[in-house]
Amino acid sequence: MTPLPAPATDPPPAASGPLLQLLASALKLWVRQQCETVGSLEIQLLGSSVQLLRGRLAGVKVLARQVTYRGLDLERVELTSSALELQLSPLWRGQPLQFRQPFQISGRVAFSPAGLCRSLARPAWRALADPLADQLLGITPLVGLRIEADRLVFAARPIVAGPLVERPATLQAVPGGLRITPDDGNAALLPIDPAIALDQVLLEAGQVVLTGQAAVSP
């Protein structure tokens, strides 16, 4: 006799109801507080009111656009969290949402070349951007980025009226950061936060897209 196929595993249902709407508003506020700016923000709660009464959610999906986070301008952010353990009593008293445990997030973020160049020009990132431009191009500062086929083209100009120096490079996610390999030179490493693990870097639809996971300790 042919065995019956195993039932499909469905994703956790999207949560609804007044209690969860209150929590969604609190989570939106928490997300906005972590960022300098957020253009648009959508949040979907996964789980049920019964789980929430126990202070637990199966997860949260976040979709945000035009985000500035730690000085980085992101065109689009798509993230899904692991299960969340919540401290609800402060929320009922009108206080900020609190988490009982750290959690994981996974997903993707997208930069436009102009947004990434703008971010690297800010004081918080110049200490990384200037050595990177010097290693890749031999001059600083970095003044432009653009995508050409499957390459990210880095550009710098030694003086205001001088010629533009450009060099295309491939991008690869590696342990500890982002490896940048020019077509005719040595690779450079752009380090990232140790709490972040990159899986892949793509150049698609005119954007630099990073996928991976991160640990969040609220």
Distance CA 210, CA 197 (A): 10
Structural contact between residues 62 and 31, judged by C-beta atoms closer than 8 angstroms: yes
- 2-16, 88-102, 118-132, 153-167: range with lowest mean pLDDT: 2-16
Structural contact between residues 208 and 116, judged by C-beta atoms closer than 8 angstroms: yes
**pLDDT at position 12, please?**
52
Query: Which burial class, exposed, middle or buried, applies to 217 when counting CB atoms under 10 A from its CB (0-12, 13-18, 19+)?
Result: exposed
Domains of the chain, by residue range, sit at 18-101, 113-216
pLDDT bin (cut points 50, 70, 90) of residue 20 is confident
CA-based angle 87:45:66, to the nearest 5? 105
pLDDT at residue 8 greater than cutoff 50: no
| Pair of tokens at residue 104 | 């994981």
Q: What would the pLDDT profile of 161-201 be if each residue is shown by its tens digit?
A: 778 899 999 999 999 899 999 998 789 999 889 999 999 99
Structural contact between residues 197 and 107, judged by C-beta atoms closer than 8 angstroms: no
**pLDDT at position 21, please?**
82
Distance CA 84, CA 96 (A): 15
**pLDDT at position 172, please?**
96
Distance CA 171, CA 194 (A): 19
At residue 194, what is the residue type?
P
pLDDT at residue 38 greater than cutoff 80: yes
pLDDT bin (cut points 50, 70, 90) of residue 218 is confident
**pLDDT at position 60, please?**
96
pLDDT at residue 100 greater than cutoff 90: yes
Q: What would the pLDDT profile of 43-67 be if each residue is shown by its tens digit?
A: 999 988 788 888 899 999 999 999 9
Structural contact between residues 38 and 72, judged by C-beta atoms closer than 8 angstroms: no
| Pair of tokens at residue 77 | 């952010």
Any alpha helices (H) in the chain, and if so which ranges? 18-34, 49-53, 89-92, 113-120, 123-137
**Predicted model pTM:** 0.86
**pLDDT at position 1, please?**
39
